[in-house]
Structure 1
Amino acid sequence: MKPASNHQSIGQAMHHELKQTLGTWQLWGIAVGLVISGEYFGWSYGWASAGTLGFVITAIFVAAMYTTFIFSFTELTTSIPHAGGPFAYARQAFGPTGGYLAGAATLVEFVFAPPAIALAIGAYLHVQFPGLEPKHAAMGAYLVFMALNIVGVQIAAAFELCVTLLAIFELLVFMGVVSPGFRWSNFTTGGWAGANTFSMGSFHGMFAAIPFAIWFFLAIEGVAMAAEEAKNPKRSIPIAYVTGILTLVVLAIGVMVFAGAAGDWTKLSNINDPLPQAMKFIVGEHSGWMHMLVWLGLFGLVASFHGIILGYSRQIFALARAGYLPDWLSKVHPRFKTPHRAILAGGVVGIAAIYSDELIQFGGQTLTANIVTMSVFGAIVMYIISMLALFKLRRSAPNMERPFRAPLFPFFPAFALVAAVICLATMVYFNFLVAIVFAIFLALGYVYFLLTRHQREAAPADALLEE
């Protein structure tokens, strides 16, 4: 195929250009907002497998993995500030096939996380309006927040910061309201996979609970996908990442301990609204605190839902711009300068997942649990590829500008890599059917990748990393 002229390439690049408007506080809001719904729901499914005490150990292990991962991942993000994030890092390190694997895994993570959050939004609204079907409310959430993301990244990021601050405030209020009923004995009773003493079965439960501990922190790496829209990514992204992960670790520990100590924690596992139900132990079903928690609790879910829509749209946009997906998905709205087609495409997939009970509800797990697990599979594979890319680029591109270098290299990225491999192996063992579905997604995507080489050859040269 004849290469495009310089004039054509410049025109194409402008047609695919994002607007640089995001500051440090907005990036911190995105970092925490992407994840904070994990404090409101999802994690309590881990109690059903591991018990409260077993899940604490699992959560500490996963928190250590995420902390070392983020400190290492930040080196990649600041060195290669690209909307594709992990896709761009893997592509530079391992070529087009590596880029495909990282991009596809990230896409699964970010496309399957929003329907799980949307279902939780529906569950919270159902508490307030029992006649409202949760799935219909979830679809309504998609329509509203896709529209907000299309209107503009500056507006979207400002909204994200506001709802994130409100969500943090609400988590602190929750801990304060349930604190009068705090009983450590409530938390520890049956704390080892349903037993009061540690046994070999406790190990089984702790490993099975890994996906739900990951849900506490899933998607924080999505800040990387806003790198092209940051005013000063080499300075602002490290600050956003480091302060973001520290904020989330403190909140995760606080919410988990206070919820479990408020009453019978077994009633909080396998549900989408553990915080309102935990508060019922203390203030009763008709308290004004309950109504406040439901309404303000929505801010946490909305923050993540809205932020992950931003994340998946940039991933779809970057993959399409580079020729890994159809080019029409990379078009930017002429007025708002946002990837509107990518936003809508991810929303279609998410809404379909919400209404696909018979397809996604299998293996003895709920619809939400399977969607969460699918998203986590994508995340873990992407973490592994990203850490391998970090090691590869340290060797193959020693002179690359690195505004932020991973501390304690090679120990931090090595720990993150080994921990991610352990997580992936245990997840395959305990969620084999979901793993098969995930592998089928990757295989079908790889067939498309092989058949569309011409798209990558025709992509605008200045939007790509060298292959």
Structure 2
Amino acid sequence: MSEQNHLQTSLTPTLLWGLGVGYVISGMYFGWNVGLEKGGTLGMAVATALVVIMYVCFTMGYAELACAIPKAGGVSDYATRALGKDLGFIAGIAQVCEFVLAPPAIAVGIGAHVNLFFPSIPAIYVAIGVYILFTMLNIIGVKLAATFEFFVTFLAVVGLVLFAGITMGEISFENLSRNSLPNGWAGVWGAIPFAIWFFLGIEGLANAAEESQNPQKDLTRGFGSAMLTLVILCIMTFIGSVGVGGWEAVVFKTDGTVSDSPLPLALGKLVGESATLYSLVIVFGLFGLTASFHGLLMAAGRATFEMGRIGNLPSWLGGVNPSFKTPANALIANMTFGILILLSNTAADIIVLSVLGALTLYCFGTVSVLRLRQVEPDLKRPFLVPLYPWVPLCALGLAVLALVAVVVSNGMLAVYYSGTLAIAFVLYKVFVRR
């Protein structure tokens, strides 16, 4: 690898924890509540429990890959090594779909939160503004970006702990059990994409491997500590939100439309919209949304950069800014595409498309763990997934189940996603492999 294509190495274990939690934490503040409309409290709870098991098993296997093959391409590099260039390309495109599509959905959430304070400012203007601002921050330098990420992530965690402290004394079993399965057990299937939104993005930690000071040790700690933090926050947020007024209270606004701000809706029932605590949680929510938006911009930049660096996408995407040592071209390209997506879709549709990319990534990543154990048994693995092969097999089974559930529940969006992969693969075979 030439010096011109080498990323700066500056990430510490603490910063990696901040990245791992930061990629995901916006999912606690918005988006997941739409799953309650599909499954109710019980359906969403079952879907979330299955998703937690899947993520715990998946992240252990993915940590093994990240420590053994510490490259910015993540699943693209792992699948290429384990399954060949063609499947590695498909895995890489799925990863790009996930990381490029998730930020527009989060930008919608940021706009919605700001709009609560300043109704005269259209949410779409806010979303585009934050896209430009945080893309520039990512271009300036990875350590500055990661330090900022740690700061806003810490504040977002404080906000969730504050929310739990306010709501836990007010929850009731009646609120948790009322109309808990409105669409029957079939609602569990519809809730799965939004349960995944609780944790979607943690795999982006692997894409920071090249910029970690000691990836063979630090990535394992990063994955483990981040996942533990997120599971605890998920449980507190879910119970605290639904328990104060029932699931309908954190899904529907007073005009009957679906809200992108479930935590403020829950707090409004307790303290009123004019209370200081209500405003404070909205501010912390903005920190959470900002953390995930900014963090996923980082992950998306690395994923697109690696695809350009190895020649699977136009080579200019694999360029590194000579002054800042960051993947500036990839970041700007992702920003442009993200803004176009932002202008043409709803947040719920973008979430589903991003989830389809993520689940494809999880399948490829887990298969790569199993395959590399067979074909490269002597590969240096600083971390080994416990209870092999049962843990990766569990992750694979649940990921396939979740993928089927999302496809069945969102047929047309699945067609769009599959068509994107198919067109990209044809172009790859015609132009790149030739």
Cα pair 1:164 1:300 within 8 Å, conserved: yes
Residue identity opposite 1:169 in structure 2:
V
Equivalent positions of 1:12-411 (< 5 A) are 13-193=2-182, 201-269=183-251, 270-356=258-344, 360=345, 367-411=346-390
**For residues 280 and 180 of structure 1, what CA distance do their matches in structure 2 show?**
15
**For residues 227 and 449 of structure 1, what CA distance do their matches in structure 2 show?**
26
**For residues 54 and 441 of structure 1, what CA distance do their matches in structure 2 show?**
31
SS of structure 1 residue aligned to 2:7 = coil
**For residues 57 and 140 of structure 1, what CA distance do their matches in structure 2 show?**
37
1:202 CA displacement: 2.1
SS of structure 2 residue aligned to 1:446 = helix
**For residues 210 and 265 of structure 1, what CA distance do their matches in structure 2 show?**
16
**For residues 232 and 226 of structure 1, what CA distance do their matches in structure 2 show?**
11
Cα pair 2:6 2:320 within 8 Å, conserved: yes
1:99 CA displacement: 1.0
**For residues 105 and 203 of structure 1, what CA distance do their matches in structure 2 show?**
29
Q: Deviations over 1:172-213 (max 9, x none)?
A: 1011122342222112111112xxxxxxx5220001110000
**For residues 129 and 110 of structure 2, what CA distance do their matches in structure 1 show?**
10
**For residues 202 and 58 of structure 1, what CA distance do their matches in structure 2 show?**
13
**For residues 57 and 389 of structure 1, what CA distance do their matches in structure 2 show?**
28
Aligned to 2:254: none
**For residues 264 and 101 of structure 2, what CA distance do their matches in structure 1 show?**
25
Cα pair 2:108 2:123 within 8 Å, conserved: yes
Cα pair 2:273 2:279 within 8 Å, conserved: no
SS of structure 1 residue aligned to 2:184 = helix
1:443 equivalent in alignment to 2:422: yes
Aligned to 1:453: 432
**For residues 144 and 197 of structure 2, what CA distance do their matches in structure 1 show?**
27
1:426 equivalent in alignment to 2:414: no
Cα pair 1:105 1:382 within 8 Å, conserved: yes
Q: Deviations over 1:369-390 (max 9, x none)?
A: 1100000000001110111111
Cα pair 1:77 1:227 within 8 Å, conserved: yes
1:98 CA displacement: 1.4
Cα pair 1:78 1:404 within 8 Å, conserved: yes
SS of structure 2 residue aligned to 1:332 = coil
**For residues 272 and 174 of structure 1, what CA distance do their matches in structure 2 show?**
17
Unaligned runs of 5+ in 1: 1-9, 194-200, 361-366, 456-467
Cα pair 2:21 2:227 within 8 Å, conserved: yes
**For residues 382 and 179 of structure 1, what CA distance do their matches in structure 2 show?**
36
Q: Deviations over 1:225-283 (max 9, x none)?
A: 00000000000000000111111011001101000011142032232100111100000
**For residues 202 and 433 of structure 2, what CA distance do their matches in structure 1 show?**
33
Of all paired residues, the percent bearing the same amino acid is 39
Q: Paired residues, what number? A: 428
**For residues 179 and 283 of structure 1, what CA distance do their matches in structure 2 show?**
14
SS of structure 1 residue aligned to 2:139 = helix
1:454 CA displacement: 5.8
- Structure 1 stretches of 4+ with a deviation exceeding 4 A read none
1:414 equivalent in alignment to 2:406: no
Structure 1 residues 64 and 454 mapped into 2: Cα distance closer, same or farther (>3 Å)?
Answer: closer
**For residues 454 and 328 of structure 1, what CA distance do their matches in structure 2 show?**
17
Cα pair 2:7 2:320 within 8 Å, conserved: yes
Cα pair 1:324 1:452 within 8 Å, conserved: no
When Rg is computed on C-alpha atoms for both structures, the one with the higher figure is 1
- Higher mean C-alpha deviation, range 71-80 or range 262-271: 262-271
SS of structure 2 residue aligned to 1:202 = coil
- Higher mean C-alpha deviation, range 268-277 or range 17-26: 268-277
Residue identity opposite 1:315 in structure 2:
A
Aligned to 1:3: none
Aligned to 1:4: none
**For residues 382 and 431 of structure 2, what CA distance do their matches in structure 1 show?**
35
Unaligned runs of 5+ in 2: 252-257
Residue identity opposite 1:260 in structure 2:
V
Residue identity opposite 2:134 in structure 1:
F
Residue identity opposite 1:20 in structure 2:
T
Q: Deviations over 1:409-446 (max 9, x none)?
A: 00000000000010111111110000000011101111
**For residues 223 and 32 of structure 2, what CA distance do their matches in structure 1 show?**
22
**For residues 92 and 368 of structure 1, what CA distance do their matches in structure 2 show?**
35
- Higher mean C-alpha deviation, range 116-125 or range 53-62: 53-62
1:151 CA displacement: 0.6
SS of structure 2 residue aligned to 1:271 = coil
Cα pair 2:242 2:249 within 8 Å, conserved: no
Cα pair 1:317 1:342 within 8 Å, conserved: yes
**For residues 142 and 321 of structure 2, what CA distance do their matches in structure 1 show?**
12
